[in-house]
């Protein structure tokens, strides 16, 4: 994975990251039950602050003053897919109509 660093959080792409995480349970189990425990596929959406061979750094919130909040670091070995998200600023007439109706 190539190193990516930006100066302003607002320049960061919005991405969805699919990654595998550990699972656990408490209490006594048999060895067979314990061996059958699988990994969890997780999905996070956030601003990609940094990407390196070590991992991805995502923030849920970015501010114009450079501040970030709800930051998460996901190890590269756990990442299965990264998808860049794009937001549409145009709305269909029917969506605009429904929005007006809700406001009344």
pLDDT tops 70 at residue 93: no
- Residue 58's pLDDT band, with cuts at 50, 70 and 90, is very high
State how many domains the chain has: 1
Distance between CA atoms of 37 and 29, rounded to whole angstroms? 11
22-41, pLDDT tens digit by residue? Answer: 999 889 999 999 899 999 99
Residue 60 phi/psi, 5-degree rounding, is -75, -30
pLDDT tops 80 at residue 2: no
- Residue 103's pLDDT band, with cuts at 50, 70 and 90, is low
Look up the domain containing 82 and give its range: 4-103
Of residues 92 and 59, the one with the higher pLDDT is: 59
pLDDT tops 90 at residue 10: no
């Amino acid at each position: 994975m190539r190193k990516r660093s930006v100066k302003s959080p607002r320049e960061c792409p919005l991405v969805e990251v699919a990654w595998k995480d550990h699972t656990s349970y408490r209490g006594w189990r048999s060895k067979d039950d314990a061996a059958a425990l699988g990994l969890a596929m997780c999905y996070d959406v956030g601003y990609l602050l940094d990407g390196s061979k070590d991992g991805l750094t995502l923030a849920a919130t970015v501010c114009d003053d450079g501040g970030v909040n709800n930051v998460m670091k996901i190890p590269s070995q756990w990442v299965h897919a990264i998808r860049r998200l794009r937001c549409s600023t145009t709305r269909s007439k029917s969506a605009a109509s429904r929005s007006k109706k809700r406001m009344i």
